[in-house]
Amino acid sequence: MDATDAYHVVCLTGDQDLHCSQVCRTRSLFGRDKEKFIWSLAEEVEGQALRKLYSKPSSQVTAIRLVNGQIISDPFAVWERYFEQLYQVDPPIVNLDAGNAEVPLLDPPISEDPLSLTKAKEAISKLRSIKAAGISSIPAELLKTCGEPMVQRLHTVLDTIPYPLTC
C-alpha cells in the first residue's frame, strides 16, 4: 500500500492521532519526491546546456566585442591585419653599450664535496609545495612531511653517488 492509499484509509477510520502522523509522513514523502524531481530536472537542464556548449565548434564563434564596444564578426581578419602591421614596422635602432657587461657563466661550477646533512635539510625545505614532482616522481610534500627520517635516508642515498659523475 503506498502513502496516499494509507492516508485515505486513516481518513476513513477517523483516528485523529494516526491521521496527524500520516499527514506528516505523506508531506515528508511528497517533499522528497518533489526534491528528487527538481534535482532530476536540474541535472537534465545542466546536461542539455553542456551538450549545447560542447557541441558548438570553436570555429563557429559568431562575434567578439572589442574594448571600444565595436562588435567584430570575423576575429581572424582582425588578427591578420594586426600581425601584418606588426611585421611591417621596423625595429628601433639602438646602440647598446656593452662595454661594462660581464658574460655570465653558462653553468656554475659543481661542488665535489660530499653532501652534508644540513645541506640536504636546507634543500628539502626550499622545495616548493604543490608543484609537479621531478624526474624521481617524489612530491615535495612527501619529503617535507616525513621529516628527519626522510632527510637522513635521502642523504644516505645521495651520499652513495660518486662524485664527479662520469658518463
Concatenating the DSSP letter of every residue in 116-167 gives PHHHHHHHHHHSPSSS---TT---HHHHHHH-HHHHHHHHHHHHTS-SS---
C-alpha cell at 15: 483516528
Indicate the pTM of the whole model: 0.32
Taking the domains of the chain in order of start, what are their residue ranges? 3-56, 117-159
The pLDDT of residue 1 is above 60: no
Confidence at 126, pLDDT banded by 50, 70, 90: confident
Q: Strand, helix or coil at 72? A: strand
The 8-class DSSP code of residue 58 comes to G
Spell out the alpha helix ranges (H) of 59-109.
75-88
Question: If you average pLDDT over residues 69-92, what whole number do you get?
Answer: 77
Terminal Cα-to-Cα distance of the chain (whole angstroms): 82
The pLDDT of residue 139 is above 60: yes
